[in-house]
C-alpha cells in the first residue's frame, strides 16, 4: 500500500527526483530554466512550498470545490520573491556583476539583498519612506542592504533605479529583469506537479503583475509539453485604492493597507492584460475591509498567517463566489508571510488580550472564565 503510494508519487512527479532534500528551484527545474553549466547557482533552497487545502473556504463557496493555498510565504525570506531572485542573482553573478539595485515595497529588497550578499555582491534598495512594513525593513537591514528611503512612492523609486542601472555598472533586479519571471514560473510547475493537473482557476494578487505573468508562462510551458491537459483561468486581484489594472489607468497616489501591492503604474501591465485575455481571466478590485477580513479568517480558521496583500487572492475568490464553476479546483497564491507586517497583525485581530493580570491562580482562572 505504502509502496504503491510512493510509486504513484514518483511516477506523477515531473521534477528531477535525484535529490534527498529539496535542492532549490533551479536545481529542481534546471531543464526548464535559462542556465548553463557555467551558471553559479546562488540558492537558499527556495521553492518546494506546500499546497494546503483550505477547507473553511471550500465550505464558504459550497459548490463541491477544492480550494488550495500555494503558501509561498514559506520561502527563505518569507515571500515568492525568492523564486525570481535565485535566478536573477545567479545570472548577475555569471555576468560578473558586483552590485544590484531595486525599488521595493519591501519584499523585493529583502530577497534581493539576501541572495546578493550570499553571492558576494552589494545590494542597494530604494524604498518609499514610511510605507514599508517593519518586518521587511528589518530583513533588508540584517542581510546588509544599503537602504535609501526616498520621499515618494514605489513608482517614483522604480523610475530612479531604472535610470541608475542604465548609467552605472549595477544590475536591476526588479521584475523588468527577465530572469525574475523565469524563476517565478516554477511555482506553476510545482502546482501542476502536486495536483497532477493544472487547476481551473488560479487566484493571485497583482502589484507589478510579474507573478501573474510568470505563473501563466509556467502553466503554458507544462501544457505545451503535454504535462498538463488544460490551462487555468487567471484571476488577478488588486486593492480598491490601488487598482490600475482593473481601472485600466495609472493611479497617481495608490493607497491600501496591503503595502506589497501599493503600486499605481505596474511594470508588467501589457503582459498582464495579455494573460487576462489569453486565459479568459478576470481582474477585480477588493476593498481593504474584505482583505483584512480574509486575512483574519485564514489565521483563525486555517492556521495560516499571510500578508494582507496575499489575502487578496482568497478575498477575491470569495467575491467571485457566484461565478465559480461547480466541482472546480482552485489555487490561491499566498505570496508572503504574515510576520512581515506585525503592525497590521496587532491592529487587526479578534483575539482576547487582557493585560495587567496579577500572577495568582484564582485571578488568572477568573479572567479565563472559570
Ligand X SMILES: *Cc1c(COP(=O)(O)O)cnc(C)c1O
Name the site residues for ligand X (rule: CB under 6 A). 79, 81, 107, 175, 205-211, 260-261, 307, 309-310, 335-336
The least CB distance from residue 56 to ligand X, in Å, is 21
> What number of helices (H) and strands (E) belong to the chain?
16, 10
* Of the candidates 153, 94, 107, 163, the residue with the CA atom closest to the CA atom of residue 134: 107
CB atoms under 10 Å from CB of 40, counted, come to 13
Cell of 349: 485581530
Smallest gap from residue 261 Cβ to ligand X (A):
5
Closer Cβ to ligand X, 28 or 333, answer by number? 333
Do 330 and 314 meet the contact criterion of CB atoms below 8 Å apart? no
236's enclosing H/E stretch is strand 233-239
User: Is the Cβ of residue 265 or residue 310 nearer to ligand X in the bound state?
Assistant: 310
By beta-carbon proximity to ligand X, the closer residue of 65 and 263 is 263
Do the beta carbons of residue 247 and residue 284 sit within 8 Å? no
Dist. CA 34–CA 279, nearest whole Å? 25
Cβ atoms within 10 Å, residue 53:
12
CB of 346 vs ligand X, minimal distance in Å: 18
Half-sphere exposure of 169 (CA within 13 A, CB side): 6
Q: Please report how close the Cβ of residue 335 comes to ligand X at its closest, in angstroms.
A: 3
The minimum distance between CB 307 and ligand X, in angstroms, equals 4
Q: How far apart are CA 281 and CA 274, in angstroms?
A: 10
Alpha-carbon span 239 to 310, nearest angstrom: 11
Q: How far apart are CA 174 and CA 20, in angstroms?
A: 32
For residue 201, which of 321, 298, 293 has the smallest C-alpha distance? 321
Q: How far is the CB of 109 from ligand X (least distance, A)?
A: 10
Residue 100 host element (H or E): strand 99-103
State which residue, 109 or 228, has the beta carbon closest to ligand X. Answer: 109
- For ligand X, the closer CB: 65 or 206: 206
Q: 23 vs 232, which CB is nearer to ligand X? A: 232
Residue nearest to ligand X (CB): 336
Nearer to ligand X, 23 or 47 (CB): 47
* Distance in Å, CB of 145 to ligand X, minimum: 16
Amino acid at each position: 500500500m505504502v509502496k504503491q503510494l510512493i510509486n504513484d508519487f514518483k511516477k506523477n512527479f515531473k521534477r528531477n527526483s535525484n535529490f534527498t532534500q529539496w535542492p532549490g528551484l533551479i536545481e529542481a527545474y534546471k531543464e526548464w530554466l535559462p542556465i548553463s553549466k557555467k551558471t553559479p547557482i546562488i540558492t537558499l533552497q527556495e521553492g518546494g512550498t506546500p499546497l494546503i487545502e483550505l477547507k473553511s473556504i471550500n465550505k464558504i463557496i459550497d459548490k463541491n470545490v477544492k480550494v488550495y493555498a500555494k503558501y509561498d510565504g514559506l520561502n527563505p525570506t518569507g515571500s515568492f520573491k525568492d523564486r525570481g531572485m535565485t535566478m536573477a542573482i545567479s545570472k548577475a553573478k555569471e555576468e560578473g556583476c558586483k552590485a544590484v539595485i531595486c525599488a521595493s515595497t519591501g519584499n523585493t529588497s529583502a530577497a534581493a539583498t539576501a541572495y546578493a550578499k550570499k553571492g558576494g555582491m552589494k545590494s542597494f534598495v530604494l524604498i518609499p519612506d514610511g510605507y514599508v512594513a517593519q518586518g521587511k525593513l528589518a530583513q533588508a537591514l540584517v542581510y546588509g542592504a544599503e537602504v535609501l528611503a526616498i520621499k515618494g512612492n514605489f513608482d517614483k523609486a522604480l523610475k530612479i533605479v531604472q535610470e541608475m542601472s542604465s548609467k552605472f555598472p549595477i544590475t536591476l533586479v526588479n521584475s523588468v529583469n527577465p530572469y525574475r519571471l523565469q524563476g517565478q514560473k516554477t511555482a506553476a510547475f510545482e502546482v501542476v506537479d502536486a495536483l497532477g493537473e493544472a487547476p481551473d482557476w488560479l487566484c493571485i494578487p497583482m502589484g507589478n503583475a510579474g507573478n501573474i505573468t510568470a505563473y501563466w508562462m509556467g502553466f503554458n510551458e507544462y501544457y505545451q509539453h503535454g504535462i498538463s491537459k488544460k490551462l487555468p483561468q487567471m484571476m488577478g486581484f488588486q486593492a480598491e485604492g490601488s487598482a490600475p489594472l482593473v481601472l485600466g489607468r495609472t493611479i497617481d497616489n495608490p493607497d491600501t493597507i496591503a503595502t506589497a501591492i501599493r503600486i499605481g503604474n505596474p511594470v508588467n501591465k501589457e503582459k498582464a492584460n495579455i494573460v487576462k485575455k489569453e486565459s479568459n481571466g478576470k481582474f477585480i478590485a477588493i476593498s481593504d475591509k474584505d482583505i483584512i477580513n480574509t486575512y483574519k479568517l485564514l489565521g483563525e480558521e486555517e492556521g495560516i498567517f499571510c500578508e494582507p496583500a496575499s489575502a487578496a487572492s482568497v478575498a477575491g475568490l470569495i467575491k467571485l463566489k457566484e461565478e465559480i464553476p461547480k466541482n472546480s479546483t482552485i489555487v490561491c497564491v499566498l505570496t508572503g508571510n504574515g510576520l512581515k507586517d506585525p503592525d497590521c497583525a496587532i491592529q487587526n485581530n479578534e483575539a482576547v488580550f487582557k493585560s495587567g493580570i496579577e500572577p495568582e491562580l484564582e485571578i488568572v482562572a477568573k479572567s479565563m472564565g472559570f
